[in-house]
Amino acid sequence: MFISYTFIIFILVLFLLYYLIPKRFQWLLLLAANFLFYFSAGTYYPLFILTTSVTVWLAGVRMDFHEKRWKEYGEAIKRGEVAKPSREEKKAEKAKINSRKKRIMLICLLFNLGILAVLKYSNFIIDNVNAVAGEMKFSYVDLILPLGISFYTFQAVGYLLDVYWGKCEVQKNVLRFTLFVSFFPQLIQGPISRYGDLSETLYKEHSFDWKNVRFGLERILWGYFKKLVIADRISVAVGMLTGDPEYYTGVFVFIAMIFYAVQLYADFTGGIDIAIGIAQVLGIRVEENFIRPFFSKNIAEYWRRWHITMGTWFRDYVFYPLSISKPMKNITTATKKRFGMAGARRVAVYISTMVTWFATGIWHGASWNYVVWGLVNGIIILLSEEFTPLYEKFHKQFPKLTATWGYRAFQVIRTFLLMCCIRLFDLYDGVRGVCKQFVHMFTQFHRNPVTKQEMIDLGLTMWDYGILAVGVLLMFIVSMWGRNGSVRAKISEKPYIVRYIVFVLLFFAVLLLGSYGVGYSAQQFIYNQF
């Protein structure tokens, strides 16, 4: 949706109105824009996001009511208005308040995650039941899957848990809270914002700031470049390579996974650039979602740099609560005699890690491919943790080697290729099909020679490959240049003529080199499906 002409007109009109109307109405204009955007994606979609917004808001208000009752009770004791309770009585009253809050939180949590589960996973469950049910088969259900349901549900659930834990203030205005849940730039593929972060600028009155607007427009333009010039162009070749896995095997599997890495990065970060740029034009700060992930030296670091808001969401709302939960404490106690305290704690951490990565995988898609993808990530991270003492010993033994640029480059390339291999679960149908292609990448390496004609048969001309090479090089240069500060800020320090030339060239690159063609239909962002 971000790359349709209708959407471009929509945001230009929004930008204009946003700074023309009285500032006190800006947030209401944004709320209206959210629902206009969402309604255009599906007639019934607004009903789902409204349901989530209202139920989570009510739960937050109700939990806040009980928390205030507890505070008022304490103040009444201090003022002498009620008899001072014994320690046991005070503890019992606090437990009663906490029990009510927990009940409200759990009902709301299960209701909203239940909506997500039913809409997204019903057919996946039916498919698996049918696989083991013998002759009795269940029919698939035809359900609406609202745009961005995984993103806005997680955003709302994060707020619900933060209120329950007392980490953020309750939003008393249901319309303002709905604005937080439905903020349209984030609906397609994130970032997944925390209420405490986004609310700092979302509800404020914003005056026109040319620097903010210019930086936002530049970020949007850069996002369009990555999406239209690189991602949509290379997607043609990726589609050809994965569409005929029987022919495109061996070395072509390697080419497919490298091409897909470029496509996914340009597509996903391009969409995030557009989302963050739109927010910045409106004076709203949205969290960064990528920090040069392909420069990571291991998988754990990669996930601290890739889709950051998703990773931190699962860490804070799944891993941490699970790892300190009562069941995990019971597991630690039960395994203490067998493995010792250090080993018992490790078992609890390993279980929590694998559950978290299972949830991460299934969140990405209702498919065993994504479940296995998540579990493989978790296993590699745990193995890496186990081998950490050996790595440290190796570094101490060969300090000159490990301090070299070449060794760091080896770590980066190793991590990149490892993540590319794991991403094969995105590319091929079925876990068996993925494993088959992975093996063929090594065993059938010379089956089909890579010739110039074979590469052209993927649907790209030599001109296309040249554009892709320049585009990838440009992304690399921008990433390197951005290590020590904002690239846009650095460009803004250059003479006016340099700034003008840079962005005029970028604009015409998008306009002239974007992957349009006859009968062009913009490719959906890859993360839309999640």
Q: What mean pLDDT value characterizes the chain?
A: 89
**Long-range contacts for 7-12 (Cβ within 8 Å, ≥24 apart)?**
10/36, 10/37, 11/278
Q: What is the pLDDT of residue 524?
A: 57
Q: What is the pLDDT of residue 183?
A: 94
The pLDDT tens digits for 450-470 are: 888 888 989 999 999 999 999
Burial 188-226 (b: 16+ CB within 10 A, else e): bbbbbbbbeebbeebbeebeeeeebbbbbbbbbbbbbbb
Q: Are 184 and 34 in contact (CB under 8 A)?
A: yes
The pLDDT tens digits for 280-300 are: 999 999 999 999 999 999 999
Lowest model confidence (mean pLDDT) among 63-77, 334-348, 515-529: 515-529
Q: How far, in Å, are 123, 195, 196, 243, 405 from residue 429 at the CA level?
A: 17, 37, 40, 10, 39
Q: Are 473 and 226 in contact (CB under 8 A)?
A: no
Tokens 């309770």 sit at which residue? Answer: 85
459 secondary structure, DSSP code: T
Its pTM stands at 0.90
- 48: confidence class by pLDDT, cuts 50, 70, 90: very high
- 520: confidence class by pLDDT, cuts 50, 70, 90: very low
- 527: confidence class by pLDDT, cuts 50, 70, 90: low
Q: What is the pLDDT of residue 518?
A: 38
Q: Token digits for 86? A: 């014994």
Q: Helix 251-281 crosses helix 405-422 at what angle (to 10 degrees)?
A: 100
Q: What is the pLDDT of residue 133?
A: 75
The pLDDT tens digits for 217-234 are: 999 999 999 999 999 999
State mean pLDDT over 223-247: 93
The pLDDT tens digits for 121-137 are: 998 888 888 888 777 77
Name the 3-class secondary structure at 454.
helix
